[in-house]
Structure 1
Amino acid sequence: MHDTPFYLAAGMIILLLFIFGFIGRKIHVPGVILYIVLGIILGGLISDNAVLDIASKIGIILMFFLLGLEFPMSKLGETAKKVWSGGLLNIALNLGVPFLICYFFGLNFLTSFLISGAVYATSSSITAKLLESTKRMANIESEYILGLLIFEDLVAPILVAVLIGLTSGQKVTGGQLGLLVLKIAVLALIAILLGRYVFSKLSNFIERINDEDIFILFTVGIAVAYGGLAVYLGLSEVLGAFLAGMMLAETNEIEEIEITTIPVRDLLLPLFFLSFGSTIDLSHGVPMIGLLIVMLIWSIIAKILVGVVGGRWYGLSKRVSLRAGLSITSRGEFSVVIASLASGTTKVFSGIYILIAAFIGIVLFIFAPKITTKIYGSPKKPKKKIKVPEG
């Protein structure tokens, strides 16, 4: 599509996304899967496209901005206190153990670290999109799942920074790591202060402009700007976008902001999955098939354990904990970022792993309620107390 006029190419891509999304609805397959497949099919035709890259990043920024709206400061604090143990378990099982598996297969330290880094994080975008599209956002386990995703979003930038240093041949010092953690703390502190002392006082202002066509400029501008500030500090744009949503949650005008912003997100977010699919190159075959099979099996088991064990620590029932574990096995955007630091067979291996893990994760998410019911049976409905009239 490099020689195709820009507007024609853009229109064709959007229409293809519509067709694949429509087919997904008819055959009951999430559009996310088909958008990734479309990206793989188009491959080099849409790779290195600056407009697509920017649009897809704005789409993912708006997704996390809208997620942040669901987490006012007080609620986030309560979640953080409860999710830290599950977050540490996640690091041990999905970063530490995969590293040891790679080392056991004879890979060197850097390659093992790169692959285990790509294995670590659940796809926040796929998981959040599925929570919303399957109407499970209000379920009990969604708070624990989103808490884990936030925990990973804090760990992943540090992981990426270390890997960038290692792959560039530079030594990563304790001071550099400390600076990165400090940046995250400063970004969060600024968001807390702005939310509490600025945006909490803007409810009347938002009520006056929420019917105006300029309101979308206000909401998207804040989301993208704070995401951009995070990137400027060397952090993740999705972390900045999430914090921006938290800031605007303090206005108590969440519904109005969502009504305005969701249509823009729905237009741009499919482009992220399309772009993700286009980064997966299957032309060189599948390297290290034995390691790939072992890593896929372990990474699925490990995430389920994070749900089952961590969910119990969080205070969820056995049924709900299992449903949570089955819902967090897909890998995605952070894995792609880490895989992009690799080269040769390591990059191909990581790309194939991410694709398969994303597909398996989506399937497990969809069937999580049925699997849980199969194991634990149908949940018992509380018996209604019958009042007996006196006399």
Structure 2
Amino acid sequence: MLLESLVQGWTTPLLATEAVSENSPTILAGVLLSLVVIYVASKLGGELSRLLNLPPVLGELVGGVLIGASALHLLVFPEGGAEAGNSLIMGVLNAITPLSPEAAGEVFASQSEVISLLAELGVIVLLFEIGLESNLRELMKVGVQAVVVAVMGVTVPFVAGTAGLILVFGVPTIPAIFAGAALTATSIGITSKVLSEIGRLKSSEGQIILGAAVIDDVLGIIVLAVVASLAKTGEVDVMNVIYLIISASGFLLGSILLGKVFNQSFVAIADKLKTRGNLVIPAFVFAFFMAFLANAIHLEAILGAFAAGLVLDETDKRKELDKQVMPIADILVPIFFVTVGAKTDLSVLNPANPANREGLIIAAFLIVVAIVGKVVTGWTVFGQPNINRLAIGVGMVPRGEVGLVFAGVGSASGVLSESLDAAIIMMVILTTFLAPPFLRLAFRDSETEAETVVSNPVES
């Protein structure tokens, strides 16, 4: 009854009709069945990816693609042009409780809205978790080299991607900017895992890659906040862009500076609370309040959640908090990734349809820019003649979960066409697949040299 009341409370403001109230048990059933499908797809996809030595998040995305508009039609959404009759879940509900066409449409819209809201909550929790994992103290130690690599890793693909889409393909400015912004991301999780496996995490190359990837995340979130705000206005106003850049940067820096004062208060509050959730509940109160503040000044809520994570990363309770946030993220974040995959219709890239060929060419263009735009950053490292520049560049290539955040926000805003949205998803998938083996290959010569030294030590 509690869940039923909750669903009714969410959906009544959306449709404001008595029919919704009458259909709330069916809406609840649709939400629950959708969550069953989402979690099964996420776990099967994640486990398969793990067996293939790939990041589980990639499996969640592919699982979403399989159950969504591209394949099984178990999870489809009205904003993608789907109707109640296109959803297999609605077919099951209708078989259990026969619905009129009007009621079916209302149930479909309402259950889709609830899942979309849960997905948005999932991405807020994801960015909060990423903020918690972004160690500011370590960031301060990486030096100028990582900063240069990060700035170039954001600037080159963003400028090349945006300019190419506008000048060559005639894509409108706002969608082109959004697609260009999606090219700026770097997945620190994927790269760090590979570096750890090959024993290069503590090398000079590894430290530069990790430092640059963390800075990339910070810059990328600022870029995302700016372009998402531009998408809401629908136009590029130079003064508005300047305002957004300054406000996003100021919000992030101000949060970090004020966080040094807040940290002591947060720890004191957590220590005084004696009931369950004494640490994680205040943390989420802070994260959601920061997300609200960001939204209130016309930035993305995820920027506020990310800033909250950066602030709380500096507390003495960071490790304990990280452990408590993880199960919550395990529940909500897969909804976001599976939903992103489900909303992506890869059929728009079917080469058999002549109308799709331009989309395929755009996808190929984005993939090339995504790879080359990051690989060249290795050659911006200066003062270290013997460093493996190719490894540094390749280490910046994978987009992973960060790239999916861009795709998800762009899709939800409605600014991306189906073909451009699918092209971005393909870019994320391929860069994530290709980066691990190529990073190992880039370090192969160095590994061979190290093995030679071990097997043939210098004779005295």
- TM-score, length of structure 1 as denominator length: 0.79
Q: Name the CA distance, whole Å, in 1 between partners of 2:195 and 2:34.
A: 33
Residue 278 and residue 101 in structure 1: after superposition, are their counterparts in 2 closer, same or farther (change >3 A)? same
Name the counterpart of 1:54.
117
Please tell me whether the aligned partners of residues 158 and 180 of structure 2 are also in contact (alpha carbons under 8 angstroms): yes
Greater Cα offset, 7-16 or 252-261 = 7-16
Which residue matches 1:90? 153
Instruction: Summarize deviations over 1:203-255 as a string: whole Å, max 9, x none.
Output: 35435658833432222222222123222222223321221012212322111
Offset of residue 131 of structure 1:
5.0
Sequence identity percentage: 16
In structure 2, distance between residues paired with 1:58 and 1:311: 39
Per the TM alignment, residue 9 of structure 1 is displaced from its structure 2 partner at its CA by 3.2
Distance in 2 of aligned mates of 1:30 and 1:240? 26
Q: Which amino acid aligns with 2:403?
A: R
Q: 1:156 to 1:206 in 2, by over 3 A?
A: same
From 142, 147, 159, the counterpart of 2:227: 159
Using the alignment, how far apart are the partners of 1:88 and 1:27 within structure 2?
32
8 A contact 2:157–2:183 mirrored in 1: no
- Are the counterparts in 1 of residues 45 and 59 from structure 2 also a CA contact under 8 Å? yes
Task: Return the alpha-carbon distance in structure 2 between the equivalents of residues 73 and 309 of structure 1.
Answer: 25
Q: Deviations over 1:19-40 (max 9, x none)?
A: 3333333444432222212222
Which of residues 145, 165, 172 is equivalent to 1:111? 172
Structure of higher RCO (CA pairs closer than 8 Å, 6+ residues apart): 1
Structure 1 residues 199 and 316: alpha-carbon distance in aligned structure 2, compared to 1, 3 A threshold: farther
Mark the CA change 1:40 to 1:123 in structure 2 (over 3 Å): closer, same or farther: farther
Aligned mates of 2:272, 2:174 — CA distance in 1: 52
5 Å-filtered alignment, 1:61-72, equals 61-71=124-134
1:302-360 CA deviation, whole Å, 9 max, x = no partner? 12223x134558999326514423435883222443466667xx713212211221111
* Alpha-carbon distance in 2 for matches of 1:241, 1:314: 37
**Is residue 33–residue 359 contact of structure 1 (8 Å, CA) maintained in 2?**
yes
Are the equivalent residues in 1 in contact too, given 2:370–2:431 (CA < 8 A)? no
**Computing the radius of gyration over CA atoms, which structure comes out larger, 1 or 2?**
2
Paired residue for 2:333, among 253, 269, 279? 269
The one-character-per-residue Cα deviations of 1:145-189 (angstroms, maximum 9, x if unpaired) are 111121121123223334544xx3x56141x23332342244235
**Other-structure match for 1:321:** 392
Name which of 290, 296, 300 aligns with 2:367.
296
The separation in 1 between residues aligned to 2:158 and 2:184, in whole angstroms, is 15
Counterpart contact for 1:40–1:279, Cα < 8 Å:
yes
- Corresponding residue number in structure 1 for 2:301: 237
CA contact (8 A) 2:124 2:302 kept: yes
- For the aligned residue pairs, the C-alpha RMSD in angstroms reads 3.7
CA–CA separation in structure 2 for the residues paired with 1:287 and 1:253 = 53
Whether the 8 Å contact between 1:122 and 1:149 is mirrored in structure 2 is no
Provide structure 1 residue ranges, at least 5 long, that are not aligned to the other structure. Answer: 387-391
1:10 is displaced (CA, Å) by 2.2
Contact 1:59–1:268 (8 Å) recurs in 2? yes
Shift of 1:118: 0.7
Distance 2:248 2:316 in 1: 25
Pair 6,203 (structure 1): closer, same or farther in 2 beyond 3 Å: closer
Question: Does residue 314 of structure 2 align to residue 250 of structure 1?
Answer: yes
Q: Structure 2 vs 1, CA of residues 220 and 183 (structure 1 numbering), >3 Å: closer, same or farther? A: same
Tell me the number of residue pairs that the alignment of Structure 1 and Structure 2 aligns. Answer: 374
Match of 1:228 in 2: 292
Q: Which amino acid aligns with 1:280?
A: T
| In structure 2, C-alpha distance between the alignment counterparts of 1:211 and 1:295, rounded to whole Å | 51
Q: Which runs of 5+ in 2 are unaligned?
A: 1-25, 70-74, 79-111, 351-355
Greater CA drift, 328-337 or 244-253: 328-337
Q: Residues 395 and 439 of structure 2 are in contact (CA less than 8 Å); yes or no, is this contact kept in structure 1?
A: no
- 1:275 partner letter: T
